[in-house]
Amino acid sequence: MSIVRGELAPQFSLPASGGRTVSSAALAGKPYVLYFYPKADTSGCTKEACAFQEALPQLGQCGAEVIGVSRDPVRALDKFAEKYRLAFPLASDEAGTLTEAYGVWVEKSMYGKRYMGIERSTFLVGADGLVARVWPKVKVDGHASEVLAALGAA
C-alpha cells in the first residue's frame, strides 16, 4: 500500500552519500522531493539522477531539496554520486524501513522470475509535511521536468 496525496509523510533519518545524514526533521518547514530508484549506477537510475542534478538549480529556486533513496549501501552511493557529480544526497535504506513505509518495496517479475525490488516512484512532500504529489511507476524521460512543474504549481 503506497502513501497517497494528503497523507503525513513518514518520518526518517538515513545515512547518505558524502558522509551526510538526511532526515525528515531537518527538512521540516520546506518542500522536498523523495525519489526511490532500484539500483545505483544502472542505466535508468543514472539517467534519472542526472536529470534531477540538471534540474537542481530550478528546484532550489522553488526551495525544494532532492533526495534519492535506494537500498544500496552508502559506499555504492558514494561511488555513484562521485562518478556523476551528484550534489544532492543519495540515501541508503539498506534495512528497507523507508521503502516499505512508502509502499515502494514490491514484488517484481523479470524473465518469469519473481523477486522483491523498488518500484521507481517519486513523492513531493510539502513544507507542511504532507505528501503533495505522488508519481508511481515513474518513466524516467521528462520526469524531473514534471516534478519541477508540480513544484511551481504548488
Residue range 86-130, pLDDT digits in tens: 999 999 999 999 999 999 988 888 888 898 888 889 999 999 999
The residue annotated as part of the active site, out of 33, 45, 81, 125, is 45
In a domain, 18, yes or no: no
Is 7 inside any structural domain?
no
E-assigned strands of the chain? 13-16, 20-23, 32-36, 65-70, 90-92, 105-110, 113-118, 121-125, 131-135
> Per the domain annotation, does 110 fall within a domain?
yes
Reply yes or no on whether 62 is catalytic: no
| Statement: the pTM of the whole predicted model exceeds 0.85 | yes
Domain annotation covers residue 3 = no
Give how many domains the chain has, as a whole number: 1
15 within a domain of the structure (yes/no): no
CATH number for the domain harbouring residue 101: 3.40.30.10
Has residue 50 been placed in a domain? yes
Range of the domain at 56: 30-153
pLDDT digits (tens, 9 = 90+) for 48-79: 898 899 888 888 888 899 999 999 999 999 99
